[in-house]
Structure 1
Amino acid sequence: MPAVLGPEDIADILHRYFERGERSPDIVLDTMPRSDVSPSVVDELLARPDVHDDDYLVFRHLTAPRTTILDVGANFGYSATSIWRAGSKAAVVSFEPIPMYARVLEALAERINPPPGGLLHRWRHPKRYESFSTGISDRAGTITFHLSVLNGDRINSALTTASTRVDIESYVRNTLFFAEANGFEITSFRLHPFTAPVTTLDQWAADAPSTLKRRKIVAIKIDTEGYEGHTMVGAAKLLHQHRPLVMAECGHAIPLAVETMKQHGYAMLRRSGDRLEIAEAPSGVNTFYGHPSQFRHYRDIGLMS
């Protein structure tokens, strides 16, 4: 029976892969593993009564029609569906480079968007969702991503990163949490590198064949495992034009993210219940940033106290 891997074993593999650049077969999986979800998960997500993370409760205040929220690092759609379950009426545009999730996000679009129709029909029943199979960074091109695979076929896609400077202690902790939450022990741990296209949010806004980019972009959610700052750098024009609310995972702990938002005049916010308040530190893993020019509007809609 294979030995169970402990935190030291996993940390050693991560050190070998990310810091020493080793690519031996015992720590690298060459072939793309199978998807851990099928398109049917879409109906399960939409039927859930709650949000998957309480930070998404703030989106209930973004109810203006014909606005858009950008979902950077969509995974298989649980962020987009949580935004709607919170009560937001905004459309959502997702960006996700993991190839195996493209079909799931396509199924979400099929499920949530109205059927095709004429011009009047499209006006009365506007599109609510689009997805793009690309990563988001500070430049356009291609990037190598790193996907963790447990026990040969269990992927922990939430830890997929393009960064080679990972927080190994946090990575180990989250890997063990994932295994415990799913009720299994880890007997093998490898990483699968894959190359995917990337673009910037500014480039997407300029070039993408999307109707939703023409609307007011009221918020951006960023969960890119260490690339949050790069995403912000590549959104300079969008941030200046739309002044959206930004929710970035660990956005307070990534110097590039903090400095970029400061350059754009944004203030750090933290969540209290379903509202936000100005603060010098976040209330949890996610960091909120808001532009002072929007604060009066946020108070009018109940988003800020």
Structure 2
Amino acid sequence: MNLRFIHRNLKARFRDQRQEIKALLAHIRPGDTVVDCGANKGSYVWTLGRAAGKTGQIVAFEPQRELAAYLRDMVQSCGLHNVRIEEKGISDHAGTMQLMIPGGGTSPGASLEQSILQREDCAAYPVEVVSLDGYFAARTRKITAIKIDVEGHEFAVLKGAQHILEQDAPLLVFECEQRHLAGATVPEILAWLQARGYDGWFIRRGALRPVAEFRSELHQRQSGERFWDAPDYCNNFIMQKP
């Protein structure tokens, strides 16, 4: 058992992603299937694995090869037999895409979006990508929840899961920032989800606020150095069907 890995999960649950994980744990029951898109170092994996129980399943996607290998080791060392690590990216199609990694090595900012090259120097290599609808086409159990942290590629992830959203109505927990997006805006993505029956909240100063109150110019103001660290900067959303 790796205590550092477990500590990372506890820190996420009780401090850094408190509202997101609270919503997931309120929604997940033993035996459920949960998807983690962009697992990175696995801050949700241990918690989700325990919530779904021995009869459930967590499928965690992480295209960075070093991190996928790390996650496989952590899952094995922690005895999380209900967690499957997939070294794949998630998009709206199946194939191969270039994964851009700021600074080389590994990074929580790795993205499938070419627009990242306008902001940062990146290493890049090809990775396999799948859509959630395609990957889970033969599923026999519905998907209960999907967590998405893909640095600007979230609209493609959602578009590639339209059948799942319609048929299974999973809880969605996702990060979405205008500074990472190309070809869409945060309000457009929220409106796209609302048109499909979803509603929910964004997180402001650790509290939930209705999505209807979200304003990009106010809640994702891009002014000042490291504006994304400002107390009123909001980039995390929780949405579900009533």
TM range (shorter): 0.7 to 0.9
Contact 2:67 2:106 in 1 (8 A): no
> Does 2:1 align with 1:44?
no
| 1:114-146 superposed Cα distances (whole Å, 9 cap, x missing partner) | 6xxxxxxxxxxxx42111110000011011111
Q: Counterparts of 1:271 and 1:254 in 2: how far apart (Å)?
A: 14
Alignment partner for residue 77 of structure 1, among 42, 49, 54? 42
| Contact 1:251–1:257 under 8 Å retained in 2 | no
1:205 aligns with 2:149: no
Cα 1:244–1:236 shift into 2, 3 Å: same
Question: Does the aligned pair in 2 maintain the 1:145–1:194 contact within 8 Å?
Answer: yes
**1:167, distance to aligned residue in structure 2 (A):** 9.7
Residues 273-292 of structure 1: matches in 2 within 5 Å?
278-281=210-213, 284-292=234-242
Alignment map for 1:147-186 (pairs within 5 Å): 147-149=101-103, 155=105, 157-166=107-116
In 2, Cα distance between the equivalents of 1:88 and 1:101? 23
Residues 234 and 203 (structure 1), Cα distance of their counterparts in 2 relative to 1, 3 Å cut: same
Unaligned 5+ residue runs, structure 2? 179-184, 215-231
Deviation at 1:46, TM superposition (A): 1.4
CA deviations 1:74-95 (Å, max 9, x no partner) are 112123235468x675642101
Contact 1:229–1:260 at 8 Å: present in 2 too?
Answer: no
**1:136 aligned residue:** 90
Counterpart-to-counterpart distance in 1, 2:93 and 2:157: 9
Letter in 1 for 2:88: T
State the match for 2:174 in structure 1: 248
Match of residue 66, structure 2, among 94, 97, 100? 100
CA contact (8 A) 1:232 1:260 kept: no
How many residues are aligned here? 211
Deviation sequence 1:212-243 (CA, Å, 0-9, x none): x5433221111111100000000011111110
- Note if contact 1:113-1:129 (Cα within 8 Å) is conserved in structure 2: no
Give CA deviations for 1:268-294 in whole Å, capped at 9, x if unaligned.
Answer: 3235899866431458311121112xx
Structure 1 counterpart of 2:113, one-letter code: S
> Computing the radius of gyration over CA atoms, which structure comes out larger, 1 or 2?
1
The CA distance in 2 between the partners of 1:64 and 1:191, in whole Å, is 40
Deviation of the 1:73 alpha carbon: 0.5
TM-score, reference length from structure 2:
0.74
Deviation at 1:102, TM superposition (A): 2.1
Structure 1's 223 and 194: CA in aligned 2 closer, same or farther, altered over 3 A? same
User: Which amino acid counterpart does residue 75 of structure 2 have in structure 1?
Assistant: A
CA RMSD of aligned residues (A): 3.1
User: In the alignment, which residue of structure 1 is the partner of 2:228?
Assistant: none
Task: Please state whether the residue corresponding to 2:109 is helix, strand or coil.
Answer: strand
Structure 1 gap segments, 5+ residues each: 1-39, 115-126, 173-189, 208-212, 293-305
- Among all aligned residue pairs of Structure 1 and Structure 2, give the percentage whose two residues are the same amino acid: 25
Is the 2:35–2:146 contact (alpha carbons within 8 Å) kept by the matching residues of 1?
Answer: yes
Q: Is the 8 A contact 1:251 1:258 kept in 2?
A: no
* Structure of greater relative contact order (alpha carbons < 8 Å, 6+ residues apart): 1
